Amino acid sequence: MKTGDQELVKKINKSIVLQTIQASSPISRAQISKESGLNKATVSGLVSELMEEDFVLEIGTGLSSGGRKPVMLYFNQTAGYAIGIDLGVNYILAVLTDLQGQVVEKIEEPLEETFPGVVLPMLKNIINTLMETQPASSYGVVGIGVGVPGITDNNGSILFAPNLNWEQVNVKQDLEQYFELPVVIENEAKAGAHGENIHGAGRKSSDFVYISLGIGIGTGIIIDDKLYKGARGMSGEMGHISIDANGKKCRCGNKGCWELYSSESTLLEQAAKLPSMEGKELSLNQLIQEAEAGNGEVLSLLSRIGEYVGIGLTNVVNTFNPEQIIIGNRLSKIQRWLENPIHHVLEQRLLPPFYEGLEVSFSQFGIESCALGSAAFSVEAFFSENKVTVT
Amino acid sequence: MKTGDQELVKKINKSIVLQTIQASSPISRAQISKESGLNKATVSGLVSELMEEDFVLEIGTGLSSGGRKPVMLYFNQTAGYAIGIDLGVNYILAVLTDLQGQVVEKIEEPLEETFPGVVLPMLKNIINTLMETQPASSYGVVGIGVGVPGITDNNGSILFAPNLNWEQVNVKQDLEQYFELPVVIENEAKAGAHGENIHGAGRKSSDFVYISLGIGIGTGIIIDDKLYKGARGMSGEMGHISIDANGKKCRCGNKGCWELYSSESTLLEQAAKLPSMEGKELSLNQLIQEAEAGNGEVLSLLSRIGEYVGIGLTNVVNTFNPEQIIIGNRLSKIQRWLENPIHHVLEQRLLPPFYEGLEVSFSQFGIESCALGSAAFSVEAFFSENKVTVT
DNA sequence: AACGTTTGTTTATTTATTAAACATAATAGC
DNA sequence: GCTATTATGTTTAATAAATAAACAAACGTT
């Protein structure tokens, strides 16, 4: 049981000060005091600690508003760095970000084989390369976050990743031993949701659901600006909600799962059957080209997929009553063709009070949300160890 | 922005002390100190405040374990009372509970008409009767909680209650003016979920979903021991998750909603079509009698309903990965016949890690969860005003 | 140059927790 | 029955953090 003491008070207030600086930098001590409600003296004390820790810098003076000039404070976002990885089914996307989540370096490599024995050494290589490119800083790389396309438990093990054909692989332990840095493993959709919440389209919302439309469908649930993980860390498998109780069998055991009707796999499968696609390459990019060229068959296929996305989203909204839905991952590339059918279905199927307050957005950074979210996990773990909490 | 100060620390610790007393009464000051990690002196101080406020009583001494005898402390659960209402579709169930949630008085009346003009005066009457029966106490009735079968917003308005045929009725304002007491209005399933979390089958779980199987299906989502309300207070309409995307239309606008396959209405509707039920009364109790008498048609109907409950629960579990599912409201009466088909479907359709950690329970107090949960809302509101928080 | 204003620091006060000392009251061993 | 030991609960002094108030510094205005 966590009791209350002065240390807790200080941690809360120090976090408030740092967050205020992050949000409104450059900002003076006086203004922090006004915005936060903390006493000027308190702010001064906490700021000087933050400066000793190199998280905050004084840079020059601001404009006077009829009195002494304020000393402006900045969040020192390059006091350290984090590495975020999106371990995709057929690619690895790795980023080096600063403490604010700004991408400093980026590596993307295709993944030909998915055996752990191939992937893990490759992963270590990529991380090593990023480590070497990091600029000099007080804290260096503070942690590594990895988003994976599968079900993870709370210990950083990948229990089941059907698309990689992995079972029971403990990536966390492996990487932590090798790099001697804290490692966070999280499901790809959960990491993406977090990325959007911290840096992306979900910054303004505190309750939203991120839908990762990729090879399969995953969801990340943000409640009160926190990721909801579920009892054993496996929440959000809404791709396996049955939208046709007696539909075709899914490999998860259920029947008529949502992702059988509106994922990238399904899209490509169904495209293969179109006469107009005969002999052509079957890829998302090819389909986009066809759609742009006005291929009617492809257009109506995309529209049908969009409708099924909408049907699944109806379920999401009735469940969570979120302020916002954010659609990310590969199929966010075909936003143009999905948007209308989605809205049409939602308007038709939702009760007005559910539809009215709802915003449906697409990811701002397309495929990068996952890597950015993973890096953000590491940054937060680092700060919370340092007796500060940062959103 | 809520900053940290000593008041916050005290509130946290005072809550810990009170909660410890509630959970383990009778208990000594020394033992509270050991269990909570708070210093003996701190505990002594906080206890004496709680005694001044009449929330805690000293009652005699306990057994010595080789030293001075401990003074035993009790939570004074009759320092005040709360009223909890379950406004059902065809009944009103009202309880007067003490601060611990013990039912002191109970009134149940059938509801023949559902016009607000009829229901509200009746409600006031019932509440008045309960008020008169309350024993003498320090704080008297501290609040009124009402669970309603419909969608509420965060202001205590009932936006939409199809089964009562209500729209935009502000019960909270009405009752608060009349009784001059704080009133909490909440959806029936959310109140039920909270009731189970505080007093019932969900006491040990911090993440579970309560399924209210009544005329329709509602759900209450408990995350981290807190009710999840959604952006506008309308979360948990999982009865309107489509389990057959192209199924028959529901009045909510969606198609193939779960509650069209496994609610009490559906059960009765389908029972009406059974040859063996011709000329018999169509009610849940009658069906229970038939089942007990071994009516094969009814038994297979119940089994089919159970399977569809299971199909919906699969969706719930894939979404939330809860530790527990609690089934409550009217259909919890037919637990005997639902249990097997539900488990069968879950085992078949869920991935093993989802099924393994999962407990499926039925409500301990059947229909009373909602009224108890509503009363509990009021008790908590009262305590949080008194600078103490109680779960 | 005098005045008022804003910024940031210093000082004294307040409040809550805690460790340590203490008083109290019981059991256990001899 | 006496003493040693042990557990309970209170008192006292120390500590830590926030805050109000006073103050010093720096600036613009008149």
pLDDT, averaged in runs of 10, over chain A (391 residues): 92 96 94 96 96 94 90 96 95 97 96 94 98 97 97 90 92 96 97 96 95 95 93 93 96 96 96 94 95 96 98 98 96 96 97 92 90 98 76 48
Secondary structure element (H or E) that encloses residue A270, with its range? helix A264-272
Distance, in Å, from the CA atom of A160 to the CA atom of A187, rounded to the nearest integer, reads: 11
Residue A84's pLDDT is what?
98
CB B97 within 8 Å of CB B81: yes
* A148, two tokens: 């994976």
Q: What are the φ/ψ torsions at residue B8 (nearest 5 degrees)?
A: -60, -45
Compute the nearest-CA separation of A159 from chain B (Å).
9
Residues of A in contact with B246 (CB under 8 A): 244
> What backbone phi and psi angles, to 5 degrees, belong to A71?
-90, 120
- Which residues, in sequence order, are CB contacts of B177 under 8 Å at separation 6+? none
Shortest CA to C1' contact from A58: nucleotide: C8
Lowest-confidence pick of B66-75, B95-104, B292-301: B66-75
Alpha carbon distances (Å) from B33 to B15, B36, B38: 13, 5, 5
For chain B, the domains span: 6-75, 81-194+369-385, 202-363
Residue pointed to by tokens 């490999």? A251
Provide the pLDDT for residue B154.
84
Note the CA–C1' distance, A30 to D25, in angstroms: 15
The reply to whether B81-194+369-385 and B202-363 are identical in fold is: yes
B269, amino acid identity:
E
Give yes or no for a contact between B78 and B98, defined as CB atoms under 8 angstroms apart: yes
**Closest nt by CA–C1' to A4:** C17
Query: Is B13 close to A3, i.e. CB distance below 8 A?
Result: yes
- Nearby residues of B358 by Cβ (< 8 Å), 6 or more positions away: B317, B322, B323, B324, B325, B346, B350
For B391, the token pair is: 């779960």
Topology given in CATH for the domain delimited by A6-75: Arc Repressor Mutant, subunit A (1.10.10)
Spatial distance between the Cα atoms of B278 and B271, rounded to a whole number of angstroms = 9
Q: In what order do the strands lie in the sheet with B158-161?
A: B151-152, B158-161, B166-169
Architecture of domain B202-363: 2-Layer Sandwich (3.30)
Measured between its terminal Cα atoms, the distance across chain A in Å is: 24
Is the Cα torsion angle A365, A368, A372, A373 positive or negative in sign? positive
Q: Considering only alpha carbons, which residue of chain B is nearest residue A249?
A: B349
Q: Is the pLDDT of residue B41 over 70?
A: yes
Architecture in CATH of A203-363: 2-Layer Sandwich (3.30)
pLDDT at A389: 61
Pick from A205, A235, A255: CB nearest B319 = A235
Q: End-to-end alpha-carbon separation of chain B, Å? A: 24
- Number of neighbours of residue A166 by Cβ within 10 angstroms: 20
Å between B136 CA and nearest CA of chain A: 35
Average pLDDT score over residue span B328-335: 95
Q: How far is A11 from chain B (nearest CA, A)?
A: 8
DSSP E strand stretches across chain A? 56-61, 71-75, 81-87, 91-98, 103-110, 141-148, 151-152, 158-161, 166-169, 183-187, 208-213, 217-223, 226-227, 324-328, 359-362
Q: Residue with CA nearest C19 C1'?
A: B39
Within 8 A of A349 by CB-CB distance, chain B residues are 242, 252-255
What residues contact residue B198 under an 8 Å CB cut-off, 6+ apart? Answer: B101, B372, B373, B376, B391
| 3-class secondary-structure state, position A347 | helix
The answer to whether the beta carbons of residues A291 and A298 sit under 8 Å apart is yes
Which residue on chain A is closest to B245 by alpha carbon? A243
How far apart, in whole angstroms, are the C-alpha atoms of residue A353 and residue B380? 29
Identify the CA nearest to A102 among candidates A318, A375, A291: A375
Residue B150: what pLDDT?
93
Q: Which of residues 46-85 of A touch strand D (CB under 7 A)?
A: 46, 61, 64, 66-69
Q: In chain A, what residues touch B6 (CB-CB under 8 Å)?
A: 9
Strand D within 7 A of B2 CB: no
Hey, is A95 helix, strand or coil? strand
Q: Cβ–Cβ of A318/B4 closer than 8 Å?
A: no
Closest partner CB to B245 (pick from A35, A234, A311): A311
Residue B47's nearest nucleotide, by CA–C1', is D9
Chain A contact set for B254 (CB, 8 A): 314, 318, 349-350
* Max CA separation in chain B (angstroms): 75
Chain A residue closest in CA terms to B345: A254
**Kind of pairing between the strands at B56-61 and A183-187:** unpaired
- Which residue of A lies nearest to B206 if distances are taken between CA atoms? A231
Q: What is the pLDDT of residue B387?
A: 60
Is residue B306 scored above 90 in pLDDT? yes
Given strand B208-213, what is the order of strands in its sheet? B226-227, B217-223, B208-213, B324-328, B359-362
> Is the separation of the CB atoms in B312 and B209 below 8 Å?
no
pLDDT at B390 over 60: no
- The three-state DSSP-derived secondary structure of chain B is CCCCCHHHHHHHHHHHHHHHHHHHCCECHHHHHHHHCCCHHHHHHHHHHHHHCCCEEEEEECCCCCCCCCEEEEECCCCCEEEEEEECCCEEEEEEEECCCCEEEEEEEECCCCCHHHHHHHHHHHHHHHHHHCCCCCCCEEEEEEEECCEECCCCCEEEECCCCEEEECHHHHHHHHHCCCEEEEEHHHHHHHHHHHHCCCCCCCCEEEEEECCCEEEEEEECCEECCCCCCCCCCHHHCECECCCCECCCCCECECHHHHCHHHHHHHHHCCHHHCCCCCCHHHHHHHHHCCCHHHHHHHHHHHHHHHHHHHHHHHHHCCCEEEEECHHHHHHHHHHHHHHHHHHHHCCHHHHHCCEEEECCCHHHHHHHHHHHHHHHHHHHHCCCCCC
Which residues does residue B82 pair with via DSSP β-bridges, in sequence order?
B97
Q: Count other C-beta atoms under 10 Å from residue B137's C-beta.
A: 17
The integer distance in angstroms from the CA atom of A320 to the C1' atom of D13 is 54
| pLDDT in the model for residue A65 | 85
Residue B299's pLDDT is what? 97
Nearest to B230 among A207, A237, A311 (CB): A207
Fold of domain A81-194+369-385:
Nucleotidyltransferase; domain 5 (3.30.420)
Token pair recorded at residue B80: 């005040």
* DSSP letter (8 states) at residue A137: -
Residue A106 and residue A103: Cα distance in Å, rounded? 7
Q: What are the chain A neighbours of B9 within 8 Å (beta carbons)?
A: 4-6, 8-9
What was the pLDDT predicted at A189? 97
